[in-house]
Amino acid sequence: MSDSPGLRTTLVTGSARRIGREVALALAAGGWQVAVHFRGSATEAAQTVADCLRLAPAGARVESFQADLDDETQARALLPRVIERFGSVDAVVNNASMFEHDTIGSFGYEALLAHVRTNTGAPILLAQALHQHVCTRSGSARTADAVVVNMLDQKLWNQNPDFLSYTLSKAALEAATTMLAIALAPQLRVVGVAPGLTLTSHLLSQEKFDSLHQLSPLGRSSTPQDVVAAVKFALDNASITGTTLLVDGGQHLMKFDRDFSLM
């Protein structure tokens, strides 16, 4: 466990903004110490740290860590840096993601490899590093309450030809979630969380987002609070590993011919 008695520590990648920020805030409010990772959003990361500290219990630590997960050297060094600062780490939430548009017509090696490095390779390296850390602190024969949560996408269960490289990289991460759960047990659990359309972006007007958000059997897709609740459930439920929680209002049950941003 961490150096602060009774407090668990998690690294949340890509937590300066959007869903990652919401996860960091909720975990801080829930008593976790949080390592806030960012690539280029230093100002936003500092704000997330400050907001987490206001929510966290007395004595909890929250710090930010910059790393470009596209770079293998930086990805490998990230968790050891967090361990050096916090003393111990109990969970990694692999939220950081590259999301660039391509199709079969524009597909090329460079785009695919860029997505795979950030969206697949880095989460695997961080899971590997957490397993090594847990074995060192606990002894390889003992079960430890350590968890990796991989953020996926309902697109994997509702495929369309848009964002080809992104989807392939997330499909590889979904497969890796199963493989890692087998390879790293019993010291680590590995769980996927797959949101539906959750936050708008520059690609969607608010009116269009609201309309698309309602396209599901339940009449709405996931909210940030829904996604956060699923992450917290995955972190706390000691019997879940090697599977994915789809949090999308059932959007994966409906056939969409295009990505939401292009509908």
Tens-place pLDDT, residues 170-213:
999 999 999 999 999 999 999 999 999 998 877 788 988 899 99
**Active site annotation includes 109:** no
Residue 104 within a domain: yes
Apex 94 CA angle, 260 and 12, nearest 5: 110
pLDDT digits (tens, 9 = 90+) for 53-72: 999 999 999 999 999 999 99
pLDDT at 139: 62
CB atoms within 10 A of CB 110: 10
Q: What is the mean pLDDT of residues 150-165?
A: 96
Position 4 confidence tier, pLDDT thresholds 50, 70, 90:
low
Query: Distance of CA 101 to CAs 19, 127, 156, 166, 178, Å?
Result: 20, 27, 16, 8, 27
Domain range for 194? 9-262
Residue 4 within a domain: no
pTM of the model: 0.94
Catalytic residue among 32, 86, 163, 166: 166
Q: What letter would DSSP give residue 96?
A: -
Position 168 confidence tier, pLDDT thresholds 50, 70, 90:
very high
Residue 114 within a domain: yes
pLDDT at 137: 84
pLDDT at 229: 98
pLDDT digits (tens, 9 = 90+) for 212-239: 999 999 999 999 999 999 999 999 999 9
Position 5 confidence tier, pLDDT thresholds 50, 70, 90:
low
Residue 3 within a domain: no
Residue 31 within a domain: yes
Contact at 8 Å (CB) between 115 and 169?
yes
Query: Distance of CA 36 to CAs 12, 44, 78, Å?
Result: 6, 10, 11
Position 142 confidence tier, pLDDT thresholds 50, 70, 90:
low
- Give 52 or 144, the one with higher predicted confidence: 52
Structure tokens, 135 = 């074995």
Residue 2 within a domain: no
Whether the predicted pLDDT of 141 surpasses 60: no
Using CA atoms, how far apart are residues 33 and 28, in angstroms rounded to an integer? Answer: 6
Position 2 confidence tier, pLDDT thresholds 50, 70, 90:
very low
CATH of the domain at 253: 3.40.50.720
Q: In sequence order, what DSSP letters do the residues of 32-94 get, joined into one string?
A: -EEEEEESS-HHHHHHHHHHHHHHSPTT--EEEEE--TTSHHHHHHHHHHHHHHHS---EEEE
- Return the residue matching tokens 């969380």: 193
Residue 1 within a domain: no
Total domains present in the chain: 1
Using CA atoms, how far apart are residues 52 and 42, in angstroms rounded to an integer? Answer: 15
- Give 145 or 14, the one with higher predicted confidence: 14
Strands (E) across the chain are located at: 9-12, 33-38, 62-66, 91-94, 146-151, 188-195, 243-247
Residue 44 within a domain: yes
